[in-house]
Structure 1
Amino acid sequence: MAADQAFVTLATNDSYARGAMVLGKSLRNHNTTKKLVVLIGPQVSEPCKGVLQRIYDEVRMVDVLDSGDTAHLAMMKRPDLGVTFTKLHCWTLTHFSKCVFMDADTLVLSNIDELFERKELSAAPDPGWPDCFNSGVFVFCPSMETYGKLLQYCTEHGSFDGGDQGILNGFFGDWATADISKHLPFVYNLSSIAIYTYLPAFKQYGGNAKVVHFLGKTKPWNYTFDPKAKRISGSMTEATSHPTFLMDWWTLYSSAVVPLMYEQYGDQPFHSGCVEGESPLQAQALPPLMSSQERKERWEQGQADYLGMDSFDNIQRKLDSFLK
């Protein structure tokens, strides 16, 4: 095991902790040789912390508000960037020479240890604005000097999007133009939303996806899952994930994470999200008919009915009928 290299993620609460559990399991299942580190916020409960300790090599509590360091001072000036400062803590992991940061709403589909051959700051383009990188997956080198400079940058410039992506794109501002080797292929951070904006490309390359990123408001853990019937339920009006990837997430969560949670929670009640006999996907019921104008507006607002009339298969059939 490469003792001085690690995959790093962040969980600020129990919901994101579940994401981190699945991410950690997916990295282990694909035989990573790297260490696994999770940074957790004070809101993460003891049972969830216990599960994370069984999956990760290192579980580190980070709380910017408590520290008397530079982060605390920066925080006083920019309270709006709370979670962002927490994420920047990954640069303080100086017992590692190189790390790959991954958001807790990502899922690994194959071994990605080759990312450690990349330099800081390597990342994939953001689907919304490809001259920016998406900060859900990036290669970095821990350094107290870089950490200090990042905090200073935060304080002086803030973030153009209110989060860490704005900060990091501002700080590593030459990413778009300086060195193409720092541009990770999109398959290392495949946004589940972007699939639908360019379907032919997904058809062509989607099978090579190595990491899927569940961007958007609705996260995998916001649904419920019937493990027996292999069915996902929840409000599909906001579904932004390809059903196959969502099923991959739930299959891994229900088989490998939920048993650990039951052990940690013991007699304490908790909601695993796995429910037998739930009603199937609402989209499988007959959807109310929508005018093409309403449907167009929904698409433009990013609210396509991905599991119903706008499902991948339906769109494919439509494309095939046009192409014929």
Structure 2
Amino acid sequence: MVKICNEMDTQSKLDICSFKSWYKKFEKITIPSICIHIPKDVLEYFRDELVILPKECYTSIVEEDSEWDNEINEDNTPEYPEFSNNIRNAIKELDGSVFLKTNWHCPKDAFWITAGQTLKVKDIIDAYQLIKASSIIKRDLNFWYLDNQNNQSTRDFYLILRKWMDIHPGTEFRCFVRNNKLIAISPRDWPQFHKHIIQQKHEIVNDILSLFKEKIQYQFPLDDYCFDVVRQRKDNVILLDFSTFEENFTDALAFDWEFLKSEEIIAEENEAGLPEFRYLNSDCGIQPHSRNNYAIPQDIIDMFNPQNSDTRSNLTDLLAARVQEEMELQNRES
């Protein structure tokens, strides 16, 4: 395998950590996924701030309501039948529920927009809603990490659909690699307390270290990088993602970047032969959580205000229809 020197620009490192770049090589140790190329016209639609969903999202509603049919046919609602069909087929192939992301990030800031307030995608409506409502996704698709616009016209963007997997937040871990050595491990759900981590701390480190040495070490093109895993039970660790070993792009969680880049941690790792594993060893009560940083934006709340009915887009109508549909389903089940 050809190793790539770490003395490279940030853009190149990010490209290496892009999901499409590594998935095939590590497919056997990660979650089944499908990469869908985003055509130029769809890419421009995703970049646009106007929140209007494509015509394909209204198919089920149109079938039941002729008034919707007339409305949609008369306006300039965009349509991307081939791309939407690719999403439908991928969801079906991945057993009906998927986790969505771009080359680099998921729309974690937009979970509030779906009927169940979750990142689980069951149809194209969920997919388009999450993408259009996410500032994180827009930054990805607008080259948020670049200082210049070089090569923008030739870069390929992908929508990644991953088979849905129910993951307990206390089973996810971020791993930090320097000079091809695993030097540190942190819970992803930092700074939350999880009792099982204390009880299984040695097994957690050993299982992650085994996966790293057997399947990842010297196989990934960079010498310094981070990777995320989920360990749901003993001897079962699944790779989730790669990211750059840089503070501007990767959260250090239980660590700080000054320490991760210091010689101190290298000395500790060499002496013990094990990565440093940090976690909360006692319940400190309610801790701040990054998910709480994301909520329904005020302008969306205002759009549902009856006094501002003239400003509603077709997204609000669709959301109302989906909420009603969810309520009817719950009533039938109760």
Could you tell me the TM-score, scaled by structure 2's length? 0.30
Greater Rg over alpha carbons, structure: 2
Q: Which has the higher contact order (CA 8 A, sep 6+)?
A: 2
| TM-score, normalised via structure 1 length | 0.30
